[in-house]
Amino acid sequence: MKLKKHDQLSVKIEKLAFGGKGIAYVQNEDKDNFVIFVDNVVPGDEVNIKLNKVKSNFAEGSLVEITKLSPIRIQARCPHFDTCGGCTLQTIPYEEQLKIKESQVRESIEHIGNIKEMDFKPIIGCDSEWFYRNKMEFSFGYEDDGKPLSEKKIAVGLHPKYRRYDVFELKECYLESEDTGNFVKAVQKFMRDLQVAPYHSRTNSGVLRSITVREGKRSGERLVNILTSGEDFEPKNEFINLLTKESDKNGFKAATSIYITKQVIKKGQRTRFEEELIYGEPYLLELMKLENSTELKFEILPQAFFQTNTLQAEILYAKVLELGEIKSTSTVFDLFCGTGTIGLFCAHKAKKIFGVDINQSAIENANSNAKTNDIQNATFVAGDAFKVIAELEEKPDIIIVDPPRSGLNEDLINHILKIKAKRLIYVSCNPTTLARDLKFLCEKYKLQTVQPIDMFPHTYHVETVCELILQNN
Ligand SMILES: C[S@@+](CC[C@H](N)C(=O)[O-])C[C@H]1O[C@@H](n2cnc3c(N)ncnc32)[C@H](O)[C@@H]1O
């Protein structure tokens, strides 16, 4: 049989690919294990699907119906599971999610990287599978009730799956805080009562775009930033009252900092963000614990990047420190350093840390984080990782890389192979690009240890730390 678009067939979902799509294997012409990807399924489900795309080596199908539920399926905790695009693995028990993520990392390295020998460690899961995020952004929009725009009510919530321009009213969310539902409800009532209009991209009118809540999981602080269109947000004092004096009464924690940020978009000009601190401290303080139980302080401004799971990031960074075997004589390159957290975690053990990131404001943050923590042996520089280190005379003993999802580029890999640091620690958020890069790096390095770590329960994401050791040649 030769499969073609629009064919309907019954298949069993064998596993999940990285990214969360289900995989079924079928016979197609002379191929026995022809792969079909299916959305919104769980391993073990038996389903009827319709093919949307058929290529030479895989096909994509959409779910028509589930004919037999997987024995591992559970009820999603969140009432918005069917609407919301986040937390897609909620119908799989957390222990099973961890097994799935662990095998995705192992299979990627074995099959794409073609590496079979390594010390593959069991995945480290999160102690708290709920309320682990320290940042959530909620959007403003209108209720999806079929009424004309003039009669619609304001909604505060998240975007429905596949509909980036719509917003559904959020009643509960188990990602950041137990009081998220109360917070969103109070903000929504406030905006409805005062009739502050959400920004509407099609008509380019209205004021409110989104509201972001950042929380110091260790410090207990809370920074709220309301993002508006270029128009003024008038009820500032009333809004401060709502988020401070009236927070208890509404069942949520008071803000320690409140910002209003105008997003100014003008034709032919770069989008500008004008931040106005209307209450409290200018930054959110977050603390991270080092293995020797000292704490690092991070002063996080509204637009700054920070790892979204503070407690699990501590575990991730401690792994980097352990596998890096950093000594007091070590010069360490922290490439793709972001706000410098990995380098700052390592600084007390190293002789010198040199961090590079392409994002100028992340580097400003990294240098001020070093200052706040009185760390004097760490320098952070803005620029492209390859270009910056290609111009350096100094050779590192240890290189740490933590690239974006796309992984390392060829120039950087070649340069790393040329400068031959004794150890290389690769932190990755994408097992497929990690495996591709490891294949090249293993021309001169041996993949010693692989440690998967789950930072984001109920999502398909998985982080991996790899230890590579230079081979004598
Ligand atoms: C996964 S984040 C790493 C964050 C950081 N290590 C941490 O733990 O907070 C990837 C970083 O790579 C940076 N980046 C992307 N392309 C880059 C390039 N060509 N050179 C240097 N940095 C780059 C991004 O700005 C981002 O901060």
185 & 319 share domain? no
Q: How many A from CA of 356 to the centre of ligand 1?
A: 8
Across 408-426, average pLDDT? 96
460 & 412 share domain? yes
Probe target for ligand 1 pocket from 309, 316, 358, 381, with the most ligand atoms within 8 Å of CB? 358
Residue with CA nearest ligand 1 atom 19: 384
191 & 328 share domain? no
The per-residue pLDDT for 1 is: 79
CATH of the domain at 191: 2.40.50.1070
Reply yes or no on whether the pLDDT at 473 is more than 70: no
Indicate the pLDDT class of residue 290, thresholds 50, 70 and 90: confident
pLDDT-above-90 percentage for the chain: 82
The per-residue pLDDT for 166 is: 83
Reply yes or no on whether the pLDDT at 304 is more than 90: no
CA-313 nearest atom, ligand 1: 8
Reply yes or no on whether the pLDDT at 129 is more than 80: yes
Long-range contacts of 57-65 (CB under 8 A, 24+ apart): 58/34, 59/3, 59/28, 59/34, 59/35, 60/36, 61/9, 61/11, 61/24, 61/36, 61/37, 62/38, 63/38, 63/39, 64/8
226 & 248 share domain? yes
Q: How many A from CA of 362 to the centre of ligand 1?
A: 9
The per-residue pLDDT for 85 is: 84
Reply yes or no on whether the pLDDT at 291 is more than 90: no
Residue with CA nearest ligand 1 atom 9: 338
The answer to the question of residue 318 being in a domain is yes
pLDDT in tens, 245-270: 999 999 999 999 999 999 988 878 88
- Asked if 429 is an active-site residue, the reply is yes
Probe target for ligand 1 pocket from 336, 434, 462, 465, with the most ligand atoms within 8 Å of CB? 336
Indicate the pLDDT class of residue 132, thresholds 50, 70 and 90: very high
The answer to the question of residue 81 being in a domain is no
420 & 277 share domain? no
Q: How many A from CA of 340 to the centre of ligand 1?
A: 10
180 & 155 share domain? yes
Residue with CA nearest ligand 1 atom 2: 404
- In whole numbers, what is the pLDDT of the chain averaged over residues? 94
The per-residue pLDDT for 446 is: 97
Around ligand 1, the residues with Cβ closer than 6 Å are 305, 307, 336-339, 341-342, 356-359, 362, 384-385, 402-404, 429
The per-residue pLDDT for 268 is: 82
The answer to the question of residue 337 being in a domain is yes
The one catalytic residue among 78, 337, 429, 442:
429
Can you give the residue range of the structural domain that contains 369? 97-128+308-470
57 & 172 share domain? no
Indicate the pLDDT class of residue 49, thresholds 50, 70 and 90: very high
Across 26-32, average pLDDT? 88
Reply yes or no on whether the pLDDT at 375 is more than 90: yes
CATH of the domain at 54: 2.40.50.140
The answer to the question of residue 274 being in a domain is yes
Q: How many A from CA of 339 to the centre of ligand 1?
A: 9
Exposure b/e, 327-357, CB count within 10 A at least 16 = b: eeebbbbbbbbbbbbbbbbbbbbbebbbbbb
39 & 101 share domain? no
Nearest partner of 397 among 454, 354, 437, judged by Cα? 354
Across 367-375, average pLDDT? 95
Cβ–Cβ under 8 Å, residues 83 and 161: yes
223 & 241 share domain? yes
Probe target for ligand 1 pocket from 134, 314, 357, 456, with the most ligand atoms within 8 Å of CB? 357
The answer to the question of residue 52 being in a domain is yes
pLDDT in tens, 86-125: 899 999 999 999 999 999 999 999 999 999 999 999 999 9
The answer to the question of residue 343 being in a domain is yes
252 & 342 share domain? no
Reply yes or no on whether the pLDDT at 301 is more than 90: no
pLDDT in tens, 272-287: 899 999 999 999 999 9
168 & 279 share domain? yes
The per-residue pLDDT for 184 is: 97
The answer to the question of residue 238 being in a domain is yes
The answer to the question of residue 91 being in a domain is no
CA-305 nearest atom, ligand 1: 9
pLDDT in tens, 186-221: 999 999 999 899 998 778 888 999 999 999 999 999
Q: How many A from CA of 355 to the centre of ligand 1?
A: 10
Q: How many domains does the chain have?
A: 3
Across 9-36, average pLDDT? 93
* Domain finish residue from 236, 254, 285: 285
Q: How many A from CA of 357 to the centre of ligand 1?
A: 5
339 & 404 share domain? yes
